[in-house]
Structure 1
Amino acid sequence: MLKQRVITAIVLLAVLLPAVFAPNPWPFALFTLVMVGAAGWEWGRLNASGAAGAVMLGLAVAVLCGVVLAMGWWLAFPGGAWWIAAALWIVGGALALRAGPAGWPRVPVVARWLLGLAMLCFAWLAMVQARSLGLNFLLSVFCLVWMADIAAYFGGRTFGRRKLAPTISPGKSWEGVWSGMAGVLVMALCWSLADTHWAVGSPSLYSLLPERLGWPGAVVALLVLAMMSVTGDLFESLVKRSAGAKDSSQLLPGHGGVLDRIDALLPVLPIAMAFASV
């Protein structure tokens, strides 16, 4: 298993890093378009689409994102739309988690397909627009999710007592969530200081937020983003548990599926773009 994980990670990095660091945003946009199409296929499999339906949903996600890319709409996407996506994630995520795995099958299948289509397309669009703001901004959003996850893991193992969502993800604790938030705030402070001392070519999320919201507003925004990364993770776990699946697929040997790797990014990316559009 470890060997598979390492080989898969190396292959992914060999493709992803040149796309991320390319001076033109198109390689990154095309690579992520393929990945989000695969995530659409996984979403279909987890939501009673059948083999053909899952393929159709994956193609629908890829085609819709491809049209947005080809028409150049991703360059002029209105900032207000990000706030709509943020509100839907915050409210809808809370309702879904409250209902738990038993409540998810009661949502009509067509509604689940449309939700997956919208969720994945918004996340992809936010990702490519974040890349257009600069590599520093894109990496700062990615690292927020990674830091929230890593700090939550170690904080939960060390201090975890109160379960966060035992019917969805028994290993998660409130102490882990708070540790993740603390880790994000420490990283944000260090990153913003680095932005002021080194020329990095573009602002990060951590320099944009204080500039536009002030430090108190930036702290609130970062805590919201850290919490929403947990929401994205729990939401995908809920869907998988409802479908009786351990992983979203085996597309990434040793790592599960694409959704397993991007679940926390799904709400964080559009919400980060909403804050960046203030």
Structure 2
Amino acid sequence: MLKQRVITAVLLLLVLLPALAAQAAWPFGLLTLVMIGAAGWEWARLNGRSGAGSVSSGLMLAFVSMAAGLTGMVVPPWMWWAAVLLWVLGGTAVLRLGVPAWPQLPPGWRQLGGLLMLWLAWLAIWTAHGRGLNFLLSLFCLVWAADIAAYFGGKAFGRRKLALSISPGKSWEGAFSGMLGVLVVAGLWMYLDTRLPVDGPSLYTVLWQRWGGALAVLCCLFLASMSVVGDLFESLVKRAAGVKDSSGLLPGHGGVLDRIDALLPVCPLALALIQ
């Protein structure tokens, strides 16, 4: 399993890195459209659609996202703040209700809500890409730092379960370790912003300039906590569907949703916080 995970990760990097390095925007745009379309297909399958229905959901999501990109859609700030409400109120409410309550929600609402969630995440990633590679990577690395620090912190110190019925492996200690890891990465990244010839300020520098020191720290902690919400939310949906992975598209890793679940709330919420 580990060998398979490593091979898949290397192949993904061989696709991602050239797309990020390209001066033109279309390679990265094409890659993210493929990924978000696959995620839409997975979401539809997890929520009761199969065959042509799930494929059409993925294709529709990719088409709508492509249309927004080609027309140069400028996302108004209220849409990012709507995403904040969607995730903070809706996401936490779903987690509080638990796994049994998810299938009781109307199927249409589950489908529409998930596709809207994915579309907003794609818009945020595309907008972040337009702000420069440094900004985009700092946004991605916030989520990766939270995940990695939470894993090792949970392994070392984990005692109190965070959400036993949803994800038994997660602990409060792991979540707090993830937040600490994000603060360390933010501090190092802001220092490097002043020392390296970057193409623009990172997310952390923008938050510091926009909010000041103390509030910028709170913003980073908030984003780190919402990455946990995104992870738990997808785990809840998978448990309700009775599956371990969102699909088998990425051998050793599961599906696309399994890789981007924490990015789904963090990306649009980060864009809201820098407005």
Structure 2 length-normalised TM: 0.98
- Provide structure 2 residue ranges, at least 5 long, that are not aligned to the other structure: none
Q: Distance in 2 between matches of 1:242 and 1:18?
A: 37
Q: Match of 1:50, SS?
A: coil
Q: Percent identity?
A: 61
Q: Match of 1:13, SS?
A: helix
Match of 1:190 in 2: 188
CA offset digits 1:120-173 (Å, max 9, x no partner): 110011001101000000000110001101111111111111110000000101
Work out which of the residue numbers 124, 127, 138 in structure 1 matches 2:125.
Answer: 127
Deviation of 1:87 after TM superposition, in Å, equals 1.5
Q: Match of 2:198, SS?
A: coil
| Residue 31 (structure 1) aligned with residue 31 (structure 2) | yes
Deviation of 1:201 after TM superposition, in Å, equals 1.8
Which letter does structure 2 place at the counterpart of 1:155?
G
CA offset digits 1:210-262 (Å, max 9, x no partner): 10000111011001100000000000000000000000000011110000000
Q: Match of 2:246, SS?
A: coil
CA RMSD of aligned residues (A): 0.9
CA, structure 1 residues 165+110, in 2 after alignment: closer, same or farther (shift >3 Å)? same
Question: Is this contact kept in 2: 1:104–1:239, CA < 8 A?
Answer: yes
Deviation of 1:81 after TM superposition, in Å, equals 1.2
Match of 1:146 in 2: 144
Deviation of 1:84 after TM superposition, in Å, equals 1.0
Q: Distance in 1 between matches of 2:70 and 2:209?
A: 33
| Residue 180 (structure 1) aligned with residue 175 (structure 2) | no
Which letter does structure 1 place at the counterpart of 2:24?
N
Work out which of the residue numbers 215, 218, 223 in structure 2 matches 1:217.
Answer: 215
Q: Match of 1:197, SS?
A: coil
Deviation of 1:2 after TM superposition, in Å, equals 2.2
Match of 2:19 in 1: 19
Match of 1:227 in 2: 225
Deviation of 1:50 after TM superposition, in Å, equals 2.0
Match of 2:107 in 1: 109
Deviation of 1:79 after TM superposition, in Å, equals 1.8
Q: Distance in 2 between matches of 1:234 and 1:157?
A: 18
- Provide structure 1 residue ranges, at least 5 long, that are not aligned to the other structure: none
Question: Is this contact kept in 2: 1:101–1:241, CA < 8 A?
Answer: yes
CA offset digits 1:83-103 (Å, max 9, x no partner): 111111111111010011111
Match of 1:46 in 2: 46
| Of 1-10 and 116-125, the range deviating more from structure 2 | 1-10
Question: Is this contact kept in 2: 1:60–1:117, CA < 8 A?
Answer: no
Q: Match of 1:273, SS?
A: helix
Question: Is this contact kept in 2: 1:160–1:174, CA < 8 A?
Answer: yes
Which letter does structure 1 place at the counterpart of 2:129?
R
Which letter does structure 1 place at the counterpart of 2:47?
N
CA offset digits 1:156-199 (Å, max 9, x no partner): 11111111000000010111111110111111111111111222
Q: Distance in 2 between matches of 1:206 and 1:175?
A: 24
Q: Distance in 1 between matches of 2:255 and 2:208?
A: 36
CA offset digits 1:12-38 (Å, max 9, x no partner): 111111111111222111110011000
| Of 249-258 and 60-69, the range deviating more from structure 2 | 60-69
Which letter does structure 2 place at the counterpart of 1:118?
L
Q: Distance in 2 between matches of 1:131 and 1:153?
A: 28
| Poorly superposed stretches of 4+, deviation over 4 Å | none
| Residue 84 (structure 1) aligned with residue 82 (structure 2) | yes
Match of 1:69 in 2: 69
Deviation of 1:11 after TM superposition, in Å, equals 1.6
| Residue 156 (structure 1) aligned with residue 169 (structure 2) | no
Structure 1 length-normalised TM: 0.97
Deviation of 1:80 after TM superposition, in Å, equals 2.1
| Residue 8 (structure 1) aligned with residue 4 (structure 2) | no
Deviation of 1:3 after TM superposition, in Å, equals 2.4
Which letter does structure 1 place at the counterpart of 2:10?
I
CA offset digits 1:36-74 (Å, max 9, x no partner): 00000000110001222111111111111111122111x
